[in-house]
Structure 1
Amino acid sequence: MSGTAENTGARAIPGLIATCWTSAGDVAPMRADERSPVPLAERIAAVARTGWAGIGLVHADLVEARDTIGYAELSRMIREAGIGIVEVEFLDNWWTTGAERAAADVVRADLFEAATALGAHHIKAGAGLAEEPLPLAHLADAFRDVADEAAASGILLALEATPFSHLRTTREAVEVVTKSDSPSAGLLIDVWHTYKGRLANDDVWNVVPMERVTAVEINDGTAGIRDTVAGMVDDSSNHRKYCGEGAFDTADFVRRTLDAGYRGAWGVEIISAEHRGRPMAEGLRRAYDTAVSCFPSSHQAG
């Protein structure tokens, strides 16, 4: 993945992606309606104005755009705003069967269509919600199939472990991805999920093969680790913090990731009641400025 840097004084600013929830306003994952209340033109303009190199869009917003202005117009709006990186989400339920799989396949087709039309770098993927995780062998077989399908369409996948899903830990996501020889089978490494999955910053890049990394995300959060799926989902959706304002030592995570050789763009994923309560443009500026502050002044993004 290619990133860009802008020199500002002694600091080289990396390419930062305003992931979908960071720019969506008062909306959150798993609400009945995940569409942003902010008009797309306003949202895109605000992302560009506050310095971001990329924008993320969720399935509900993509389908609405397709059915109203069309993907060609959406692509034009993004590119003319000077935004060079697009990511789409969220690919889920790829391991299921029956009616659940039929519904998941509709979403998958929508996301593949959007990613192709918008020239997206990758599609973010997850592993649902689970009180009792499925066997890794089953998940690995299913992910191999969806990765092969993505490869046939020239699409990269970025699979993330979440501590409330079938893939509880980064180690498990690595195992699932590395069992596929598809060039589209990649990893998304998010500091929120590594921290809450009890993987220390100094261990992340001993566990994760850099050649399999499609995307990296940063944010910050609380020190506590909840012991229920519902508690973890609440923490993830409502209590994340801006980079450098929580317990994660996000600057240390960034430094170690750079030292490990990562040279791509960085997603900034702020999902919290605090962030949703701010005016959208104000939240974008705060998310951007706090993320930039976590990068060493000597950083040169590749």
Structure 2
Amino acid sequence: MTPLLIATCWTSAGDAAPLREDESSPIPLAERITAIAQTGWNGIGLVHADLIHARETIGYEELSKIIHAAGIDIVEVEFLNDWWTAGEERAASDRLRAELFEAATALGARHIKVGAGLTENPLPLATIASAFRDLADEAADAGIRLALEATPFSHLRTTPEAVEVVTSSDSPAAGLMIDIWHTYKTGLSHEDLWKVVPIERVFAVEVDDGFDRTNTTVLDVVDDTIKHRTYCGRGDFDTASFIRRTIDAGYQGPWGVEIISDEHRRTPVVEGLRTAHATTLECFERAAQLV
């Protein structure tokens, strides 16, 4: 098992995190790209704030040249949210959508990661599904693929809900992002996961690790996902077994490695990238021994 590994945006961003007022990385983009290449990764993930900074400074054409010159062949961009909203929220989301579509097209991105917000009161599934069908149709017209992710604090709290939304669309752009953190935290076992997820609709898979915690509120879960993820094989998730079951299900694409934690943000970028890469490969080696 020699996987293609994507250093997702937070894995290489240094002291940057989701939901901060400014999500941009303090690490110069050229330095990040060099660090990712030198530590063995095949792909890079970039968040909206960093993409816009790149567009306004060096431009996407130059950014693409730097990425590919470093030997990095896979690009993903993120994170599209609020596509189901109306009014001012929708206007802001539409601007975000246009900017992510522009970046994805210019950089030849494999997919755009799509979320379902942060809420304690999920909307009816039919409302989300209708909005996603429209979004997927627009993405298909632009030649872009969408990887929709269920998270336990969003309008799509479970993987089966995300499956229902994605399969309600016949668009070739409509796909799933499967992240071990979110499947584990919602109680979906690695074996049962592939009984409910159609592998042909899976556009992306992410691995990481974490810990068994008692989370009683949405904010507790959000805090856990942003502060306490850990490197593959160093937590309670049995990442090797997840990898084995995912491969057995037929997944053949690249694997995002998404490490989001206070510990990782304090770690020098090259050291953190090297540890994330090495521990992920160790889990693939263990996965190869499983049946």
Give your verdict on TM over 0.5: yes
Tell me the equivalent position of 2:60: 71
Amino acid at match of 1:106: R
Deviation at 1:296, TM superposition (A): 3.5
Contact 2:240 2:287 in 1 (8 A): no
Within 5 Å, which residues of 2 pair with 1:111-260? 111-260=100-249
SS at match of 1:159: strand
1:6-25 aligned within 5 A? 12-25=1-14
Q: Percent identity at matched positions?
A: 68
Q: How many Å separate the matches in 2 of 1:237 and 1:256?
A: 26
Cα 1:282/1:134, change in 2 over 3 Å:
same
Question: How do 1:83-98 residues align onto structure 2 when only pairs under 5 Å count?
Answer: 83-98=72-87
SS at match of 2:284: coil
Q: One-letter code of the match for 2:230?
A: K
Structure 2 distance, partners of 1:39, 1:298, is 35
Q: Deviations over 1:38-96 (max 9, x none)?
A: 00010000000000000000000000000010000000000000000000000100000
Structure 1, unaligned stretches of length 5 or more?
1-11
1:34 is matched by which residue type in structure 2? E
Q: Which amino acid aligns with 1:82?
A: G
Amino acid at match of 1:183: P
Q: Distance in 1 between matches of 2:140 and 2:287?
A: 36
Where does residue 263 of structure 1 map in the other structure? Answer: 252
Encode CA deviations 1:107-152: one digit per residue, 9 max, x unaligned.
Answer: 0000000000000000000000010100000000000000000000
SS at match of 1:293: helix
Look up the SS of the partner of 1:183 in the other structure: coil
Q: Aligned ranges for residues 26-65 of structure 1 at < 5 Å?
A: 26-65=15-54
Which residue of 2 is the match for residue 9 of structure 1? none
Please identify which structure carries the higher helix content: 2
Q: Is the partner of 1:295 in helix, strand or coil? A: helix
Q: Secondary structure at the residue paired with 1:88? A: strand
Distance 1:209 1:280 in 2: 36
Contact 1:223 1:247 in 2 (8 A): yes
Give TM-score scaled by structure 1 length.
0.94
Q: Which has the higher contact order (CA 8 A, sep 6+)?
A: 1
- Distance, in Å, in 2 between the alignment partners of 1:131 and 1:264 is 33
Cα RMSD after superposing both structures: 0.9
- Tell me: CA distance 1:282–1:128, structure 2 relative to 1, closer, same or farther (3 Å): same
Question: Given that residues 241 and 287 in structure 2 are in contact (C-alpha distance below 8 angstroms), is that contact kept between their aligned partners in structure 1?
Answer: no
CA distance in 1, matches of 2:285, 2:234: 16
Secondary structure at 1:14 match in 2:
coil
Q: Figure out how many residues of one structure are paired with residues of the other and give that number.
A: 288
Matched residue SS, 2:178: strand
Segments of structure 2 that go 5 or more residues without pairing to the other structure are none
Aligned to 1:105: 94
Letter in 2 for 1:287: A
